[in-house]
């Protein structure tokens, strides 16, 4: 049997986006879309194609002095449960707007990658197109991380663009992210005789008070202002409705500017919660803006817009860790990602394609 989901990489890029959106690819279920992407790339004779699980790498081999990466993930977050939500599968089109899961995060960007891969047989730079699985889940499952471990030579480049949604402007670098458990302990007792125990949940009040009083910084890094944030994202404790709780955990998420590494971020959290037990449970380094190279400046010049910082964590951090300057640039509004109303305009996708086509086609 032939492949069920066939993609025509030369059709209108907005229509291609709709086709890609109609192939459901919630994290862990990327195979059907990966198969379709792989099959579509294999017929392009100017590309060398490599597959690792549900991640695909396609590369030109033109002998250019410099190489750039265009990367995007195939997976989406789970479909919405809200009745009548439009951010689902299949996609719908209303007045030039594409609604559906992955519209902004980030199947429009993936469609742009595929369109360029098919069209550009003689680009200004050698180009590596990377399509990877498991971005929306734990970092340990990342397809991009797996590629970096299994075939790091395929990721080698002078500059990388992650086609995450940026509303059509360049967003440099990204904040780092870390999670911590801040704990209190007490003594269990029957709630009818509460004076016999020690309430661990009540003892967490100073933790919340410190967070409420905390004033996050805005840090200038190479000309971009990165806003930090530190918030309680979950609290748990107690075992029953008639038992004084003997433990409580407050989970804290710290989004930190890329002037800090993980160790410095952890030191800041431990200082804020001095006197409490603190455990770091997760963390990922940020990435500096990556706009100090001429190759990046040429993209900014074509756009004619001032670059912005990326507040959320993205896989530009992985490229930065490999010594590759990287930025975010893609169609759609990141504020709509993961929402029940996720959508992107068809024109935004076409504009992104036009910009990258011009950038990759111009002569030096």
Q: What are phi and psi of 306, to 5 degrees?
A: -70, 130
For the stretch 138-182, pLDDT in tens is 888 999 999 999 999 999 999 999 999 999 899 999 999 999 999
The pLDDT of residue 140: 85
For the stretch 249-260, pLDDT in tens is 999 999 999 999
Question: pLDDT band for position 364 (50/70/90)?
Answer: low
H, E, C per residue of 80-134: CCCCCCCCCCCCEEECCEEECCCHHHHHHHHHHHHHHHHHCCCCCCEEEEEEECC
Instruction: Locate 317 and state its tokens.
Output: 């951090």
Residue 172's closest CA among 288, 82, 6? Answer: 288
Residue 110's closest CA among 19, 5, 42, 3? Answer: 19
Taking residues 340-345, report their average pLDDT. 96
What is the spatial distance between Cα 304 and Cα 349, in angstroms, rounded to a whole number? 18
Question: pLDDT band for position 363 (50/70/90)?
Answer: low
- The structure's pTM equals 0.88
Residue 277's closest CA among 200, 217, 216, 197? Answer: 200
The residues, any chain, with a CB within 8 Å of residue 98's CB and separated by 6 or more, are 14, 17, 18, 21, 91, 92, 108, 343, 344, 345, 346, 349
Helical (H) or strand (E) element with 345:
strand 343-345
Taking residues 249-277, report their average pLDDT. 97
Judged against a pLDDT cut of 50, whether residue 2 lies above it is answered with no
Residue 51's SS3 state is: strand
CA 129-132-134 angle, to 5 degrees, is 165
For the stretch 173-217, pLDDT in tens is 999 999 999 999 999 999 999 999 999 999 999 999 999 999 999
> Between β-strands 159-162 and 67-73, what pairing exists: parallel, antiparallel or unpaired?
parallel
Residue 207's SS3 state is: helix
Judged against a pLDDT cut of 70, whether residue 246 lies above it is answered with yes
Residue 341's SS3 state is: coil
Taking residues 311-334, report their average pLDDT. 92
The pLDDT of residue 41: 98
Judged against a pLDDT cut of 60, whether residue 219 lies above it is answered with yes
Taking residues 311-317, report their average pLDDT. 90
User: Which DSSP symbol is given to 141?
Assistant: G
What is the spatial distance between Cα 287 and Cα 302, in angstroms, rounded to a whole number? 23
Taking residues 50-58, report their average pLDDT. 98
Proportion of the chain above pLDDT 70, given as a percent = 98
For the annotated catalytic residues, the residue numbers are 75, 135
Taking residues 220-232, report their average pLDDT. 96
The pLDDT of residue 36: 98
What is the spatial distance between Cα 261 and Cα 316, in angstroms, rounded to a whole number? 15
Mean pLDDT, the chain, integer = 95
DSSP letter for each residue of 231-282: EEEEEEE-S-TTEE-SEEEEEEEEEE-TTS-HHHHHHHHHHHTTTSEEEEEE
Q: What are phi and psi of 59, to 5 degrees?
A: -135, 140
Taking residues 1-24, report their average pLDDT. 88
């Amino acid at each position: 049997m032939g492949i069920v989901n066939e993609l025509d990489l030369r059709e209108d890029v907005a229509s291609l986006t709709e086709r890609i959106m109609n192939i459901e690819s919630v994290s862990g279920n990327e195979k059907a879309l990966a198969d379709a992407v792989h099959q579509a790339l294999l017929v392009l004779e100017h590309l060398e194609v490599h597959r690792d699980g549900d991640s695909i790498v396609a590369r030109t081999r033109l002998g250019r002095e410099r190489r750039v990466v265009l990367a995007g993930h195939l997976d989406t977050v789970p479909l919405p449960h809200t009745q009548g939500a439009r951010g689902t599968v299949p996609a719908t089109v209303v007045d030039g707007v594409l609604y559906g899961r992955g519209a902004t995060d980030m199947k429009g960007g993936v469609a742009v990658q595929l369109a360029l891969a098919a069209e550009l047989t003689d680009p200004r730079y050698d180009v590596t197109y990377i399509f990877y699985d498991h971005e929306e889940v734990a970092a340990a499952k990342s397809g991009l991380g797996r590629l970096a471990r299994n075939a790091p030579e395929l990721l080698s480049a002078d500059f990388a663009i992650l086609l995450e949604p940026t509303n059509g402007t360049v967003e440099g670098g990204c904040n780092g992210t870390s999670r911590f458990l801040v704990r209190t302990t007490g003594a269990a007792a029957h709630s009818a005789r509460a004076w016999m125990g020690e309430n661990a949940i009540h003892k967490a009040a100073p933790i919340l008070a410190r967070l409420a009083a905390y004033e996050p910084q805005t840090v200038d890094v190479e000309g971009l202002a990165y806003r930090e944030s530190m918030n309680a994202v979950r609290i748990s404790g107690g075992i029953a409705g008639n038992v004084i709780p003997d433990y409580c955990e407050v989970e804290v998420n710290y989004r930190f500017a890329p002037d800090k590494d993980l160790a410095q971020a952890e030191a800041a959290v431990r200082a804020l919660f001095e006197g409490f037990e603190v455990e770091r449970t997760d963390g990922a380094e940020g990435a500096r803006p990556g706009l100090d190279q001429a190759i990046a400046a040429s993209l900014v010049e074509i756009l004619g817009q001032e670059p912005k910082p990326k507040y959320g964590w993205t896989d530009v951090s992985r490229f930065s860790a490999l010594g590759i300057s990287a930025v975010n640039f893609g169609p759609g509004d990141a504020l709509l990602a993961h929402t029940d109303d996720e959508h992107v305009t068809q024109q935004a996708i076409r504009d992104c394609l036009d910009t990258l086509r011009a950038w990759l086609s111009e002569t030096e």
